[in-house]
Structure 1
């Protein structure tokens, strides 16, 4: 019995081996061998050249390193404090270098503001309209027209200067106005107030004074420009 059992086991093992070889040798049911794709070798990126700011901090760190040895363990904190002070000093020096340029631009802008005069066409048109009223003997209306149109010119050119409730006296004392404009408003406003509140009609002399004040202010640069244009 024992021998028979051993022969049966041997036969089963042989049959299993033959079946495995048959299956393994059948190409129809085998998978294709897996091809391994080679992984390209990764080239490490070239080291980036430090920028000027990094080089500055490196130089500053090397410069202050002897001091760091004196502070010992607290040096990292002290280092950043000193770097901050150095940067602040650098910005201050830069500001001092640019300060004359900044002051010049501010001063130039202020001078442009002070040189405001009415537009040439507006000034000439206003004088023409006022002259027609004066030729008819309507000196009060002509003088009042000068004042009213002048306020409108300023309000259109510099809205921040004129409030809706601004009076002629307030405009005459406005610091933002050029001195010539303030003098002009003083002369014209004085005569308009006399006409309105003193109930005294204006005469030819009043009109001529108001007109001369406006023309001297509004046309002084226009005249010089006109002469230059003719010379050209």
Structure 2
């Protein structure tokens, strides 16, 4: 009976061992398959041509250009000359050299201005004179106007001559530059138009002063008044007056 029970226990242990082997063997097989799949995927990724796995080449530092010998010698000479001055001013040489560079740049700019400044001023003056010539009345219109006004002045009608000069001048500007004037523009307003050249503003101021005097002061103009108005307009029109 004892032998029977001992054999039964041995058979039970063997069956239990076989059952454990079957239970553990399933996960091991699945893990091995997953490992093979991972290795296959990794090899596929490594074989892809659009992904770079090789390390980048090291960056090449640009070659540093060597300072010429003459420049080093000049720097040492400048330091020997100006370093004592910098120490007297309470500055070290690395700081004082930048002060010297700034002073040298300022002197260079001043020298360039002294050289090219007069030429630039002359160019601006020429441009200004050309602009004045553009906005002056035409020679034919100015000559015809002065001839008509001179006929009135020859009869002693100086006030009417100045008034004609003013009216026709306003008409000339209105024809050439209608955007400058409005119907209510006065001679005084025209005499300060910034678009007119200086000679034009001066001419309108002179003529307007004489016309206002003849209209509001109840005093006719004389030959001297007419001569002043005529000369101002001729200067504006750039005409040479005949005696």
Give the TM-score, by structure 1 length.
0.47
Larger radius of gyration, structure 1 or 2?
Answer: 2
Give the TM-score, by structure 2 length.
0.45
